[in-house]
Amino acid sequence: MDLLLQAATQNTPLNYFPIALQIVVAIGFVIIMMVASHLLGPKRRTQDKLINFESGIPSVGNARQPMGIKYFLVAILFVLFDVEVIFFYPYAVNFRYLGQEGFIEVILFVAFFLCGFIYVVKKGALDWED
């Protein structure tokens, strides 16, 4: 009993045993499921099953040809402005606690992103007609 009381009051390796046990069980479960699906699953290797699947559309051309930079630019801009929206949630939860000072800081935050958005639009980053 004294050992359990000591383990509960001090940070010992025994305190991490439940976490280690859960990790071992999770990894073991994944390994068992992968082996079971490999052993029990169907093994029909036909020519149709061995070709690449591209959403039902037959592959055309070389996959190594360059893509337009516009796609990547829009993706990065989406991530940037999506992260901005994520920062609004903590503010909305603590709206009353933050008061007027918090409101001013959020207005500045939005203003900085609005300046960035205006810059992006003026540079033509969202124009697809090039």
What pTM value is reported for the model? Answer: 0.45
pLDDT in tens, 32-76: 999 999 999 888 888 877 777 666 666 677 777 777 777 788 888
pLDDT in tens, 88-104: 888 888 888 888 998 99
Looking at residue 116, what is its pLDDT?
A: 86
CB 102 within 8 A of CB 94: yes
**Domain 2-123 class in CATH:** mainly alpha
Token pair 């073991």: residue: 28
What DSSP line would sit under 25-74, residue for residue?
HHHHHHHHHHHHHHHHS-----HHHHS---TTSPP-S-TTSPPPHHHHHH
Instruction: Measure the CA–CA gap between 41 and 87, rounded to whole angstroms.
Output: 45
